[in-house]
């Protein structure tokens, strides 16, 4: 009787350990995946970025309102276009499986190129617009801030992807 009790506890302990390790590994994979627009982690990053940007650019209230109105529009355009681009790339992958689809491949590649061009055009329009709102020095600070922020974000993502043994 006592052996059965110990065996049951042992089986429950092993089962609990397996379940815990499964949940933990899922959680770790989730944390290592880089956030995408719309993800609440991405929203927190964006809020942090805005606060740092206000500080770095030394925007007054009026500049801040106008600048972030344009910035929000750019981000919305970028998210929509990027969503379309990802969808088109998935469709492109499916077309690769069929060797008779060269015309469709060409059209899909042209469409993806047009989406990338749209992103560049939106970015250039944004830069033109903010030059009317803030000083050239602040525009320069913005460009440098974007570069540095992207680098830091990529470093954080790379570091998060490393296993504890690699750190």
Domain that holds residue 73: 39-161
Counted domains in the chain: 2
What is d(CA 98, CA 79) in angstroms, rounded to the nearest whole number?
30
9 and 64 in a single domain? The answer is: no
Identify whether residues 3 and 69 lie together within a single domain: no
- The per-residue pLDDT for range 97-136, each reduced to its tens digit, is 877 888 888 899 999 999 999 999 999 999 999 999 999 9
CB 89 within 8 A of CB 52: no
Q: Which of 64, 87, 47, 130 is nearest to 39 (CA)?
A: 47
How does pLDDT run across 56-78, given as a tens digit for each residue? 999 999 999 999 999 999 999 99
Cα atoms in the 13 Å half-sphere on the side-chain side of 46: 15
CA distance 91 to 110: 13
pLDDT recorded at residue 20: 46
Task: Note whether residue 8 is domain-resident.
Answer: yes
100 and 58 fall within a common domain: yes
Q: Are residues 12 and 61 in the same domain?
A: no
Whole-model pTM?
Answer: 0.67
Task: Please indicate, yes or no, if residue 167 is contained in any of the structural domains.
Answer: no
More confidently predicted of 58 and 26: 58
Model confidence at 14, in pLDDT bands (50, 70, 90)? very low
Same domain for 86 and 14: no
pLDDT of 43: 84
Domain identity same for 13 and 60: no
Query: What Cα–Cα distance (Å) separates residue 27 from each residue in 158, 161, 163?
Result: 17, 13, 13
User: 149 with 118, same domain?
Assistant: yes
């Amino acid at each position: 009787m006592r052996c059965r009790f110990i065996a049951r506890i042992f089986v429950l302990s092993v089962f609990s350990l397996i379940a815990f390790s499964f949940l933990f590994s899922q959680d770790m994979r989730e944390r290592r995946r880089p956030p995408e627009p719309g993800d609440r982690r991405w929203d927190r990053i964006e809020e942090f970025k805005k606060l740092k940007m206000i500080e770095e650019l030394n925007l007054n209230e009026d500049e801040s309102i106008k600048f972030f109105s344009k910035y929000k529009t750019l981000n919305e355009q970028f998210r929509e276009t990027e969503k379309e681009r990802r969808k088109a790339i998935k469709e492109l992958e499916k077309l690769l499986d069929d060797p008779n689809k060269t015309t469709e491949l060409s059209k899909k590649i042209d469409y993806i190129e047009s989406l990338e061009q749209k992103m560049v055009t939106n970015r250039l329009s944004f830069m033109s617009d903010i030059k009317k709102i803030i000083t050239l020095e602040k525009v320069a600070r913005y460009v440098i801030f974007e570069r540095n922020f992207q680098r830091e974000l990529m470093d954080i993502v790379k570091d998060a992807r490393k296993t504890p043994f690699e750190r």
